[in-house]
Amino acid sequence: MRGASRSPAIARRHGVTDIKVFGSLARGEARDDSDLDLLIEAGE
């Protein structure tokens, strides 16, 4: 996954406190044409 090693540092810099996956991928129903649904929580 390109850029994955930088993801934690980027998340901290932007105040991200939690990331959740939802939708078809979270339910184990993803297909090749499915999108990725993310809920990103950040502090103020």
Q: HEC string of the chain?
A: CCCHHHHHHHHHHCCEEEEEEECCCCCCCCCCCCCCEEEEEECC
| The pLDDT of residue 1 | 61
Contact 31, 3 (CB under 8 A): no
> What's the pLDDT tens digit per position in 10-22?
999 999 999 999 9
Q: Of 30, 9, 11, give the one whose Cα is nearest residue 21.
A: 30
Domain ranges of the chain: 4-42
pTM, full prediction: 0.71
CA 7/CA 10 separation, integer angstroms: 5
Percent of the chain residues past pLDDT 70, beyond the cut: 95
